[in-house]
Amino acid sequence: MRNLKLSMLTCAALVVLATGTASAARVVVLEVRGDDTSDFEEMLVESLKAQHDVVEARAFDRAARREGVGDDLDARAIAKVARSLEAVAVLDPMLAKRDGEWEFMIKVRGRDGKVKRKMKIELDAPRLGAKGKKKVGRAVLDVLDEVLAKDKRSDAPRISKARSLDDEESEDNPLPAAKGKSKAKAKGKQKVAARRDEPVERKARGRGDDDEDDLGEDDDDEDGRRASRGGASSDADEEDLDEAEAEADDEEEDDEDRPRARRSRSGAREIRRAGILVEVGSTVITRTLTFSSRDFEQAPRGYPGSPVPTAHVAGEIFPVAIARQKHLGAVVGFYGEYDKVMSLTTRTSQAMDIPLSTAQLRWTVGAKLRYAFGKAANLPSIYAGFGYGRRAFIVDRSSLPDGVALDLPDVDYRLYEPTLGLRFPVGTERLALTLGGRALLMKRAGSIQYDNEYGAAKITGAEGEAVIDAAITRMILLRVRGSYTQIGYDFVGNGAQTNNRDGNPDTQDVGGAKDVWIGATAALAVSY
């Protein structure tokens, strides 16, 4: 019985010791340079977060701003930010195309910012399938664990986490690294395996190859399927990989002479690629309606409008860009705009003491494609869209006494609006000028085209706008917009007001009209 109790206590102690050695380090994953899709960054984060406390690139950028670190990150700057985050390791990855082949390279930096190990994985294409992501993730974990185990200088707190069930070693007791087999290539380069448990030799797979070690796409029997053909290099120079294995602390590389360019100061999000933008403000609109006719006493006077304020709200959403701004699907979005005059009255010369309530509004909804040029946040972007909208000016004549008329036609435009625009940041992404235009393809114009008004007409319309965006904070923008809209009429001559204003229906009295809307908007916008 005593032996049984002793055995149980021994087992319990072993369990406690095993659990105590399983710990997680705080690790930073920097932005993957050269990866516009963020797929590789997400792969690294997903691979590490089950066993470590991961600080993503966005959080690192925020910490860098708090520490006053500029956009150029050298070893000292990385170390400064890492210390503020209590991180013990930093993954500095890059995706690049060299000599016609894609390479995914990772520098594992210590808390002092210096390079402890390097990994290099060759790919046939700048993407990884599900199997490839798992294998690369395991290789990164292995190398990271070696670096952490050998970094005796780290005094940052460790956060306990259980290792995965299929992982038999711990950070404090890593398995020794296996010696990789280097293989000479036609270009004179050598490839070294990153896995510690066995040497790995990646090859491109042909038709029907179902190799479990493939780092390419999931489909197993498609021609030309991409696969990784290399391993990870050690800490040795990338162009001279004579050593099949190198210890993490054999040599350290100080990158102070070649600082890493940090992503924009936007915390990983760019204003020009916003996933959601909502603006609220006010628009001052002036509308004028003029007629072209011969000079006679009964000629229509039109509408010499004055500026009136409107309530303004507008927004756009790019669903994919909310989570992944640089993804291909992030170019597709939807938009909407709405303006309504708060208070407007119209009067007729025949009854000047009677105010006539008037509704003036404008709205449009549609879909938009947006493309941002280049990788820098202060480069231009272009958009094109197609929408459906309404613009109306309707007077309530119900309060007019019998026999009194208002010589002003109502308009209620229903139209299609193809749009095109270009956004130019002015030196910095926080200040930008957008120039845009839209064609107004008329579906109908309302009562102005009734037979008792001006009848049928050929209608053309266009609108131009200029927008200035000034970022007050990263998410709050001051937006100022000016717009000019013109709708032209060429009357056919079958309406009562075009042919019979002078009592003679045989001649056309009014040939055309011009409806002009000028708007100036000031709004606050929230961007994410």
Looking at per-residue pLDDT, the higher value among 445 and 247 belongs to 445
The residue count for the chain:
528
Identify whether residues 219 and 299 lie together within a single domain.
no
Identify whether residues 208 and 311 lie together within a single domain.
no
Identify whether residues 102 and 197 lie together within a single domain.
yes
Pull the structure tokens for residue 9. 């206590």
Looking at per-residue pLDDT, the higher value among 85 and 165 belongs to 85
Looking at per-residue pLDDT, the higher value among 184 and 96 belongs to 96
Indicate whether 282 pLDDT > 50: yes
User: Going by C-beta distance under 8 Å and a sequence separation of 6 or more, which residues neighbour residue 349?
Assistant: none
Q: Which CATH number goes with the domain that contains 403?
A: 2.40.128
473-479 mean pLDDT: 91
Q: How many domains does the chain have?
A: 2
Q: For residue 488, give Cα distances in angstroms to 298, 495, 515.
A: 21, 17, 6
Identify whether residues 235 and 287 lie together within a single domain.
no
Confidence at residue 260, expressed as pLDDT on a 0 to 100 scale? 67
Q: For residue 51, give Cα distances in angstroms to 48, 147, 176, 341, 480.
A: 6, 15, 19, 58, 49
Identify whether residues 303 and 202 lie together within a single domain.
no
pLDDT in tens, 413-471: 999 999 999 999 998 889 999 999 999 999 999 999 999 999 999 999 999 999 999 99
Which domain covers residue 122, as residue numbers? 22-261
Q: How big is the CA angle at 406 (ends 402 and 412), to the nearest 5 degrees? A: 120
17 belongs to a structural domain: no
Q: How confident is the model at residue 352 (pLDDT cuts 50, 70, 90)?
A: confident
Pull the structure tokens for residue 48. 């590490």
Secondary structure (3-state) at 166: coil
Q: What are phi and psi of 154, to 5 degrees?
A: -70, 125
Strand partners, 346: 356
Q: What are phi and psi of 331, to 5 degrees?
A: -80, -15
Identify whether residues 252 and 322 lie together within a single domain.
no
- pTM confidence score: 0.57
Q: How confident is the model at residue 128 (pLDDT cuts 50, 70, 90)?
A: confident
pLDDT in tens, 165-199: 333 333 333 333 333 333 333 333 333 334 333 33
Q: How confident is the model at residue 350 (pLDDT cuts 50, 70, 90)?
A: confident
Give residue for tokens 């139209």.
415
Q: Picking from 149-163, 261-275, 278-292, 354-368, which range would have the lowest pLDDT averaged per residue?
A: 149-163
pLDDT in tens, 18-74: 443 346 789 999 988 888 677 888 889 988 988 899 999 888 988 888 888 876 788
Identify whether residues 440 and 490 lie together within a single domain.
yes
